[in-house]
């Protein structure tokens, strides 16, 4: 009887251990999880990403996700870093020098965030992943090589960071139609006594986002250019 009980207990123990182990979906991978998270963030924004919704989109159990990620915060970190991968330029003319390199880095950074508008508001709140750290290292190295003093390097980097993030958040959230902008400018015209300068410049009708970003960047880089 003891032998039979021992055998029965062994079988029950095996079933218990099997039941306690989370189901591992061999078709699930970290790459699929991150790519699907990006799709959900693009479609529904930051508040729309939940582990349950992510699992449903993947056709997997929610617990299976935890074989690959620790929690939702790690999913955010990985999704953010994945959309900020730097794309090398095909070629930068020597005549453009360090400014050409910096302009490409920042235009590429802005374009990546505009393709995924949630990223601009998420970036300041997340741990910095390898892609964004690589961007910052390249930017720092380029500015240092151009003659920006070490004492000024952090100021230069954060100034450019703030410019790119601020410009991207503004562009992503400023979603007025042409009719809305025209109506706003008309209201401003009625108040021109109080706001004569911005009414005259037709500020509320200026939707040349790319041109404004590029010219503003030139203003910043003019200030960063070493004075010989």
The full 3-state SS of 139-182, as one line of letters, equals: HHHHHHHCCCCHHHHHHHHHHHHHHHHHHHHHHHHCCCCHHHHH
What pLDDT band is residue 124 in, cutting at 50, 70 and 90? confident
**Residues 171/209, Cβ–Cβ less than 8 Å:** yes
What pLDDT band is residue 95 in, cutting at 50, 70 and 90? low
Helix, strand, coil % in the chain, rounded to nearest 5: 75, 0, 25
The predicted pLDDT at position 81 comes to 93
The predicted pLDDT at position 5 comes to 45
**Do both 166 and 74 map to the same domain?**
no
Per residue in 4-40, pLDDT (tens digit) is 444 444 444 444 333 333 444 557 899 999 999 999 9
The domain containing residue 70 runs over which residues? Answer: 30-84
Work out the average pLDDT over 43-60: 93
Q: Which of 84, 119, 146 corresponds to the end of one domain?
A: 84
Cα separation, 189 vs 69, whole angstroms: 55
Is 22 part of a structural domain of the chain?
no
Work out the average pLDDT over 42-64: 92
Is 99 part of a structural domain of the chain?
yes
The predicted pLDDT at position 4 comes to 43
**Do both 111 and 71 map to the same domain?**
no
Per residue in 163-221, pLDDT (tens digit) is 999 999 888 877 777 787 788 788 878 877 888 887 788 777 777 889 999 999 999 99
Burial 59-87 (b: 16+ CB within 10 A, else e): ebeeebbeebbeeeeebbbbbbbbbbeee
Cα separation, 71 vs 92, whole angstroms: 41
Q: What angle is formed at CA 78 by the lines to CA 73 and CA 83, rounded to 5 degrees?
A: 130
Q: What percent of the chain has pLDDT over 70?
A: 84
The CATH number of the domain where 60 resides is what? 1.10.10.60
Cα separation, 134 vs 126, whole angstroms: 16
pTM: 0.77
How many structural domains comprise the chain? 2
């Amino acid at each position: 009887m003891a032998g039979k009980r021992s055998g029965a207990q062994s079988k029950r123990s095996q079933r218990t251990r099997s039941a306690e182990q989370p189901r591992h979906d061999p078709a699930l991978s970290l790459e699929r999880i991150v790519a699907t998270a990006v799709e959900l963030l693009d479609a529904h924004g930051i508040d729309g990403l939940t582990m349950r919704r992510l699992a449903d989109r993947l056709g997997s159990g929610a617990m299976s996700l935890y074989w690959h990620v620790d929690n939702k915060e790690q999913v955010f970190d990985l999704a953010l870093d994945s959309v900020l991968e730097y794309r090398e330029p095909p070629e930068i003319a020597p005549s453009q020098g360090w400014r050409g390199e910096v302009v490409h880095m920042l235009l590429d950074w802005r374009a990546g965030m505009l393709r995924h508008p949630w990223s601009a508001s998420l970036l300041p709140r997340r741990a910095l992943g390898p892609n964004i750290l690589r961007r910052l290292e390249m930017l720092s190295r380029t500015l240092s090589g151009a003659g920006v003093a070490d004492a000024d390097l952090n100021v230069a980097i954060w100034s450019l960071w703030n410019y790119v993030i601020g410009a991207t958040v503004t562009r992503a959230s400023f979603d007025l139609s042409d009719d809305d902008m025209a109506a706003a400018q008309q209201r401003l015209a009625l108040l021109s006594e109080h706001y004569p300068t911005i009414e005259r410049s037709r500020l509320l009708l200026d939707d040349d986002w790319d041109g404004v970003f590029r010219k503003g960047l030139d203003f910043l880089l003019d200030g960063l250019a070493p004075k010989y």
